[in-house]
A and B are shown apart, each in its own frame.
Chain A
Amino acid sequence: MIPAIIVFAYLAVVLYIGIFAFRKGSTGSGSGEDFFVASRKLGPMVFLLSIFGTNMTAVAILGSSGFAYQRGIGVYALMASSSGIVIPLTLWLIGTRLWSLGKKHGHITQVQFLRDRWESGGIGTFIAIVTALMLVPYIIIGVMGGGSTLETISGGLVPYAVGGAIVAITVVAYVFFGGMRGTAWVNTFQTVLFLAFGVTAFTLIAKSVGGFPATMQAISEGPQSFLLTRERMPAEEFFSYMFIPLSAVMFPHIAIMCMTAEKVTHFKRTVVLYPICILLIWLPSVYLGVVASKVIPGLSPSEANDVIIRLLSQNTSPILAGVLGAGIMACVMASDSQILALSTVFTEDLFAYYGGRKKFGPKAEVWAGRTFIVLIGLVSYVIALALKEKANIFELAIRFAFSGFAALAPVMLAALFWKRSTKWGALAATLWVVGCVFANWHLTNISDAIAPKPPKRPAASAMRGGPAAGGGPAVQRGPQAGAPGAPDAQPGGTPQVTGDGPTPAPSVLETAQGGAPGGAPEGMRPAGPGAGGPGGPGAGGPGGPGGKKKPPTQVRIFPQLGDMFLRGPVNVTIFGFLPVFPMVVGSALLMLLVSLITPPPSKATIDKYFSK
């Protein structure tokens, strides 16, 4: 219970920070600009730490270590080092321009810019609704992750529903009172906490497991040596992952955060230090996930998401586990800025744009924003409860948000850098993105029956006892469960295809040795473990059974189309690539082609946005 008490103390601190920000803000103008973008006055360190913190979710610590537990060190390259170059590049290219235009023309959201740039309120509204819908799952992650983490850290004493409610109320409260200022300060505090978390966890666990060299040596000589390589990671998937971080600056909360810097020079430090911050968080998380495959073998994919908490509870004192648990909560609660962003989109792009500001005045704008914050929190909590057993956070986040936002990046790039780009190009690209998201959902749905199934495996908690942090029993967690863990590829990276079509071919099912379907979505889809080799994580967890038969494969969804649409245990690929790749390429092509065949924007607009 001690770790849970420490986590509650942490929640009280972030609540206080939010309310303190409210007091500070109440002496200001009380305007929408003050509430939604902190009067564009954030200093360089707060800007760096808050923009980084808001990008780190449960994925960073819980997801990456659980994912690495099953797929190995390749997870770092797949998700961290790719983000470490692509996100700073997009902040440098897009973020700085958004900041400049926002300051010059009073924009608070990216839709306000796009609406003006495309000379079309309707297209702006369409993009606002699309982005808002894609943001919702991201917010639900926070509530689900909070409920699960509190449940685990308290050893089951705080049930998922209560934990989720506590987290939702805390986040809604400090966002409600503090607005962007409170959110940025809390994010800064959280970022410092989880940067410290990574280093501390790494050091403490290294000591207690008898040093990392011995553990790594043992892994390299055992059946899980593939965890130290990427031999079971398909090259197509690895390549596709480079496109996912394009989503970052298209997420409304990041775009809005870009408007908060006091000076554009604040971006300089941010883009240089961003890769280092990612390194400090992800390296310990991925490394510890791999270490855990030796120290705590046999976890199922869902249990693997708790692996970092299990490591901590087994190897540190309860007080330290609590402090480190608070670090995990810091990541889990990164949904605060998403809630604020969604509220900002509703208020600025819809309520104010369609007459609310004129009719009710600027004060009502802030209260409309606060009302939306409460409603969003409430709806997210209800969905988090309803979907606990049906979906996992990664599936929600990646399938509906990351790919969609990444595929919208060409629209923003065209708006900022290409005079000839038109609203029709933007509309075509956005429709393409929406169509692809639905197509992906549809293909995934219709191919569920033929998806290679994972085998039953012994429960890790039964095998190991699996005490969660604080010494309580291991908790089976719903929403975060099973994210990673679906192998779809053979060694060497070439997906093996079984072309037996939609009928659930026994041969496919028989050979499916991989991880749980768990719902790891396209961006996070684990592809390799268990594939062909000896007993990988996907093949019954580290140390578990598997590896004797052929690994799980991908099956053709439409045999007559060859390898165009393949279905793995978790998701659909297109010629082996994750959908995000064709989505981004298609969006860029449509933006280009449709712009060229439609009338250019007016001279006034071009002068407004492209004159030096």
Chain B
Amino acid sequence: MKIGLALLVAAVLVLHHDIWNWKDASLVFGFLPVGLAYHVGYSLLASGTMAILVKYAWPKNLDDDDEVAA
């Protein structure tokens, strides 16, 4: 599981470098440059990735600290 999540994070970091969009000036929906549209999607992907990490890789021992503090 841990390796899978680490690979997911690595893949997301690599996907930031979208060299295939580098010189593409086409417009998505007629108003959004494709390079910008990609990175809007990337921001949503980042949020989704963090949601997965929170669900499957949250340090449970810190939750215990929470309970102790409460």
Residues in A lying within 8 Å of B, measured CB to CB:
73-74, 76-77, 80-82, 84-85, 88-89, 92, 96-97, 99-100, 103-104, 211-213, 216-217, 220, 225-226, 228-231, 233, 235, 238-239, 242, 263-265, 268, 271-276, 278-279, 283, 286-287, 290, 493, 612
A213 to B66, CA, bound (A): 50
Q: Is the CB of A275 within 8 A of B27?
A: no
- B69 CB, nearest partner CB in chain A, Å: 6
- A77 CB, nearest partner CB in chain B, Å: 5
A366 to B7, CA, bound (A): 46
Given A80-B39, A225-B25, A275-B46: A103 and B31 interface contact (C-beta under 8 Å): no
What string of 1s and 0s marks CB contacts (under 8 Å) between B36-70 and chain A? 10111011101101110110001101110110011
User: Which of A103, A216, A268, A271 sits near B33, CB closer than 8 Å?
Assistant: A216
Q: Is the CB of B39 within 8 A of A231?
A: no
- A582 CB, nearest partner CB in chain B, Å: 19
A273 to B24, CA, bound (A): 29
Residues in B lying within 8 Å of A, measured CB to CB:
9, 12-13, 16-19, 21-27, 30-33, 35-36, 38-40, 42-44, 46-47, 49-51, 53-54, 58-59, 61-63, 65-66, 69-70
List 8 additional contacts besides A73-B35, A231-B22; criterion CB under 8 Å.
Answer: A92-B50, A92-B54, A97-B59, A100-B65, A216-B32, A229-B25, A264-B62, A264-B63
Q: Is the CB of B16 within 8 A of A286?
A: no
Q: Is the CB of A81 within 8 A of B58?
A: no
Which residues of chain B are within 8 angstroms of A275 by Cβ–Cβ distance? 43-44, 46-47, 50
A268 to B16, CA, bound (A): 23
Q: Is the CB of A96 within 8 A of B62?
A: yes
A143 to B9, CA, bound (A): 38
Given A76-B36, A85-B46, A276-B47: A100 and B54 interface contact (C-beta under 8 Å): no
Which residues of chain B are within 8 angstroms of A271 by Cβ–Cβ distance? 50, 53-54
Which residues of chain A are within 8 angstroms of B63 by Cβ–Cβ distance? 264-265
Q: List 15 A-B contacts (CB under 8 A).
A: A73-B33, A77-B36, A85-B13, A88-B50, A92-B50, A103-B69, A216-B31, A217-B27, A220-B27, A229-B25, A238-B17, A263-B70, A271-B54, A275-B44, A612-B61
Given A265-B63, A265-B66, A275-B46: A81 and B27 interface contact (C-beta under 8 Å): no
In this complex, what residue of A is CB-closest to B58? A268
Q: Is the CB of A216 within 8 A of B30?
A: yes
Which residues of chain A are within 8 angstroms of B43 by Cβ–Cβ distance? 80-81, 84, 275-276, 278-279
Interface residues of chain B: helix, strand, loop or mixed (majority): helix
A271 to B49, CA, bound (A): 10
Task: Please give me the 7 A-B residue pairs with the lowest Cβ-Cβ distance, nearest first.
Answer: A275-B46, A85-B46, A228-B33, A228-B25, A73-B36, A81-B39, A212-B31
Given A104-B65, A272-B51: A231 and B23 interface contact (C-beta under 8 Å): yes
- A514 CB, nearest partner CB in chain B, Å: 20
Q: Is the CB of B39 within 8 A of A77?
A: yes
A96 to B53, CA, bound (A): 13
User: Which of B35, B50, B62 sits near A230, CB closer than 8 Å?
Assistant: B35
A225 to B63, CA, bound (A): 51
- Most chain A beta-carbon contacts within 10 A, residue among B9, B12, B18, B39: B39
Q: Is the CB of A84 within 8 A of B31?
A: no
- Most chain B beta-carbon contacts within 10 A, residue among A81, A103, A211: A81
A77 to B19, CA, bound (A): 12
Q: Is the CB of A229 within 8 A of B33?
A: yes
Given A76-B36, A213-B30, A493-B22: A274 and B42 interface contact (C-beta under 8 Å): no
A271 to B9, CA, bound (A): 14
In this complex, what residue of A is CB-closest to B18? A77
In this complex, what residue of B is CB-closest to A291? B31
Q: Is the CB of A274 within 8 A of B50?
A: yes
- B25 CB, nearest partner CB in chain A, Å: 4
Given A96-B59, A212-B31: A85 and B53 interface contact (C-beta under 8 Å): no
In this complex, what residue of B is CB-closest to A75? B36
Which residues of chain A are within 8 angstroms of B54 by Cβ–Cβ distance? 92, 268, 271-272
Which residues of chain A are within 8 angstroms of B44 by Cβ–Cβ distance? 275-276, 279
User: Which of B30, B36, B46, B66 sits near A287, CB closer than 8 Å?
Assistant: B36
Q: Is the CB of A220 within 8 A of B61?
A: no
Given A92-B50, A229-B25: A264 and B65 interface contact (C-beta under 8 Å): yes
In this complex, what residue of B is CB-closest to A268? B54
- Most chain B beta-carbon contacts within 10 A, residue among A217, A268, A276: A268
A456 to B68, CA, bound (A): 65
Q: Is the CB of B66 within 8 A of A264?
A: yes
Which residues of chain B are within 8 angstroms of A74 by Cβ–Cβ distance? 35
In this complex, what residue of B is CB-closest to A230? B22
User: Which of A85, A231, A493 sits near B16, CB closer than 8 Å?
Assistant: A85
